Structure 1
C-alpha cells in the first residue's frame, strides 16, 4: 500500500511544509479596501443565488439588504470626497464606486424583466439616481458654504464673487480629476454644471427680488452676462459643457427690468458727463483763455466727450454682453445727438461775438469737430441713423466755423479783390496779385495755430473761395478786351495769377489741386481767336466744368468785344453734384 505521501506529494520531505491556499476576500474585505465593484459583484451573485432557487431564509435576505446599504454608504463616502484634491488612491476608489453604480444599474435592468412579486424588495436600487441626488446635495451645500470675497465693495458683490470662485474652482476640479473616473458617456462635467447652474440661478433670482441699488444691479448683470459665461468658457471646461442645455440664469422679465434700470443709469451718467464738459468749455470761453499745445489752439472738449461716450459703450458691452441690442445702443447714443445740438448752439454764440477771443475758440473747436467726426465714423457700434445724424451735425458745425474764419479774411482782402479785373489790373496784374498774395500770406500765417489736418481742410476751403471771388470779379465785366493783344494779355495775367495764388496755398500746406484747373480753362477761352476753336473750347468747358451755365458763358464771352452767347449757343448743363458744382453755384 502506498503511503499518504504518494497521494499528497506536498507532504513529502522534499517539498517542505504545505503552501497556504490564498483566501478569497470577503465582501467586508472588499468594502474596507474600497474595491466597490468586486463587492457589488459578490452581492449580485448572492442575490441571484438567493432569489433564483425560489426559497430563502428571511435572515439571509435581511443580511443581504444590509450589505447593500453598507455598499452604498461606502460609495457615498467616496463620492463626497470628489470635490477635494484627490490622490491616486482616492481616484481609484472613485473609479470603483462609479463601476459599482453601473453594475447595480445593470442588475436593476435585469430584474425589470421579472415579475414584481419575485424581485427583492430593494430592487430597483436606482444607484444612478441616488448618485445624481447626492451630487446635487453636495453642490447645494458647497454653494451655501461659499465664503464671500473679502475685497468686494458690497455684500452682494462679495457674495457673487465668492459663489463664482466656488463654481470655477470646483468645476476645474471635476474637469481635472473627477472626469477621468467616469465613462465618457456619463458626461459628469455636464451633470455637475447643471447643479451648480441651478444653485447659482436660484441665488441670483433671490437677490434680484431685493430691489437692488445701482452698483449691485450692475454686479448682478455683469455676472449674468459676462463673468459666469466666461467661467464656462475656460479651456478645460468649454469642450465638456454644453451651455445650450442650461436655463437662462435669470427669468426674461427680471433680466429686462434690471437691464432697463442699468441703461437708465448709464444714460443719466452720460448726460451729466456731456453737460459738464460743455459747461466747462463755455466757462473757458467766457473766461477769455484758450489753451495752446505744441503751438496750436486746443480744447479738451472732444477728448472728454469721446472718452465719456466710449467708456459708457464699453461698460454696457461688458455688463450686458450679447444682450446689448441695437435698441439699447440707439437709446444710449441719443444723448450724443442732443449734445451735438447743444454744442452747435454754443458755437453759434461764440461766432456771434466779435471779440478777439472768439477766433481762437473757433479754431480750437475745429480740431474738436475733426475728432468728433473721426470718432463717429470710426465707431462700429453706432446705429446707421445715429451716425448719419451726428455726421450731418458735425459737418454743419465745421462748415459754419470755416465760414466764420474765412469771412474775416475775405473782409480784410476786400480792397485787393476790388482791384481784380479792373483797368489797373490789366495794365499791372502782377502788382495787384502781389497785394492779394501779401494779404493772404498774413492771414495764412495765423492759421498755423490750427492742427495740421484741420488747417489743410480750411486751406482747401479758403483756396476755393478766393478763386470763386476772383471769377466773380472777372464776370462783373468791368473791362472789355477789345483786341487780340488785350485778350492774350488778360489770358497770361489770368494764368499767372492762378499760379501765384496756387503757390501761396501750397506753401501754406494745402494739398487741394483740383481747383487749379478752373482759371487756365477760362484763360484759354479768352485768347483763342478762331471761331471754330472757340466753340470747341466752350464744349470743353461744359465737359471739364459740368456746372457752368449759359449765364456763366454769356459773361465770359462778353469780356471780349463782339462776342455773345447768341453766337455760340450751348445747352444749359444739368447741375451736378460735385465740387465744381459748388464752385460755379457761388459765381453770381
Structure 2
C-alpha cells in the first residue's frame, strides 16, 4: 500500500526502488522455489509443495507445522502478484508522465534503474547456468518476469501517445481532404517542435529520443493516410493528397531528419 501511494504521488524512482526490493524478496523466498507461478492466460491448479517433493520444507515445518507450507506458499504467491500489480501501476504513471511532460527526468531514471536490474538478472542467470553446467533440469529458481525491457515499453508508449494526439480522419467530406491534411501537418509540426524544445534535453543521448518521436509520429501519419485511401476518393482530394505527401510532408521529414 505504501509503495502504491508513492506511485500515485508520482514519486516514481523511490517507488521503483521499493518494488525492486520486493521483487528480490520474492526471488529469494524459499516457499516459491521449484514452483511455477500461474499466468493470467493459462489457468492452473496450484498444488502446495509437499514434504516429499521439496527438501527445504522440513526446515520450515516444526511440530504441528503441517499447515505452514501451504500458508507460506499462498503468502509468497500474493507477494509475487503484488509485484506485478505494482509494476503495472508504475508503468501507467510513467507513460502518463511521458505524455504530459513534467517529471520526465524521473521516467528516465526509472528506465535506467530497471535496465540495470535487467543486466544484474541476466548476469545472475548466466552464473547460475554455468554453475549447473548448462543442465536446465537442475534449475530450481522461480520463473521471473525479467528482463522487463522498460526502454522498449517506453518506445511503445510514445507511439501510442503519438497515435492518440493526431486528428482522426473519420468523416472527411468530399473536397475536404486538404483541410484535414493541413490539420494533420499542423499537429505534427507543433508536437515535434515541442519535443525538440522540452523533451530531447531530458533524455540521455543513447535514447535517441527525437528519432523515437519522429518515427512514432510518422507511423501514426501513415496509419491515417492508409485509412483515408482505403475507400473511393474524389479526384480533387487525390490531387490534394499527392501534393501534400510529396511537396509538404516530405519537406518536413527532411527538415527534422
Q: TM-score, normalised by structure 1?
A: 0.31
Residues 1:81 and 2:100 are matched in the alignment? yes
Match of 1:64 in 2: 83
Match of 2:112 in 1: 102
- What is the CA RMSD across the aligned residues, in angstroms? 3.1
Quickly say closer, same or farther: Cα 1:140–1:60, change in 2 above 3 A: same
Match of 1:160 in 2: 181
SS in 1 for 2:199: helix
1:47 Cα shift?
A: 2.3
Match of 1:302 in 2: none
Task: Tell me the alpha carbon deviations over residues 455-511 of structure 1, each in whole angstroms, 9 at most, x when there is no partner.
Answer: xxxxxxxxxxxxxxxxxxxxxxxxxxxxxxxxxxxxxxxxxxxxxxxxxxxxxxxxx
Residues 1:202 and 2:223 are matched in the alignment? yes
SS in 2 for 1:174: helix
1:67 Cα shift?
A: 2.2
Equivalent residues in 2 for 1:169-318, closer than 5 Å: 169-208=190-229, 210=231, 212-234=233-255, 238=256, 241=257
1:186 Cα shift?
A: 0.8
Quickly say closer, same or farther: Cα 1:103–1:119, change in 2 above 3 A: farther
Equivalent residues in 2 for 1:379-528, closer than 5 Å: none
Residues 1:52 and 2:75 are matched in the alignment? no
1:117 Cα shift?
A: 5.6
SS in 2 for 1:34: coil
Task: Tell me the alpha carbon deviations over residues 4-43 of structure 1, each in whole angstroms, 9 at most, x when there is no partner.
Answer: xxxxxxxxxxxxxxxxxxxxxx634532442212221222
Higher relative contact order at CA 8 Å, sep ≥6: structure 1 or structure 2? 2
Match of 1:137 in 2: 160
In 1, the alpha carbon distance for the partners of 2:203 and 2:171 equals: 32
In 1, the alpha carbon distance for the partners of 2:11 and 2:169 equals: 33
1:175 Cα shift?
A: 1.1
Quickly say closer, same or farther: Cα 1:146–1:81, change in 2 above 3 A: farther
Q: How many residues align?
A: 200
SS in 1 for 2:148: coil
1:157 Cα shift?
A: 0.9
In 2, the alpha carbon distance for the partners of 1:28 and 1:207 equals: 43
Asked whether the equivalents of residues 40 and 100 of structure 1 are also in contact (C-alpha less than 8 Å), the reply is yes
Asked whether the equivalents of residues 12 and 107 of structure 2 are also in contact (C-alpha less than 8 Å), the reply is yes
Quickly say closer, same or farther: Cα 1:65–1:117, change in 2 above 3 A: farther
SS in 2 for 1:44: helix
Quickly say closer, same or farther: Cα 1:214–1:64, change in 2 above 3 A: closer
In 2, the alpha carbon distance for the partners of 1:138 and 1:129 equals: 14
Q: 2:15 aligns with which of 39, 48, 54?
A: 39
Match of 2:45 in 1: none
User: Structure 2: which 5+ residue stretches go unaligned?
Assistant: 33-75, 129-138
1:120 Cα shift?
A: 5.0
In 1, the alpha carbon distance for the partners of 2:95 and 2:140 equals: 29
In 2, the alpha carbon distance for the partners of 1:205 and 1:58 equals: 46
1:164 Cα shift?
A: 1.0
Quickly say closer, same or farther: Cα 1:68–1:201, change in 2 above 3 A: closer
In 1, the alpha carbon distance for the partners of 2:115 and 2:220 equals: 28
In 1, the alpha carbon distance for the partners of 2:186 and 2:140 equals: 51
Asked whether the equivalents of residues 146 and 166 of structure 1 are also in contact (C-alpha less than 8 Å), the reply is no
Asked whether the equivalents of residues 148 and 158 of structure 1 are also in contact (C-alpha less than 8 Å), the reply is no
SS in 2 for 1:118: coil
Q: TM-score, normalised by structure 2?
A: 0.65
In 2, the alpha carbon distance for the partners of 1:232 and 1:154 equals: 25
Mark the structure with the bigger radius of gyration.
Answer: 1
Quickly say closer, same or farther: Cα 1:31–1:209, change in 2 above 3 A: closer
In 2, the alpha carbon distance for the partners of 1:74 and 1:206 equals: 31
Match of 2:148 in 1: 125
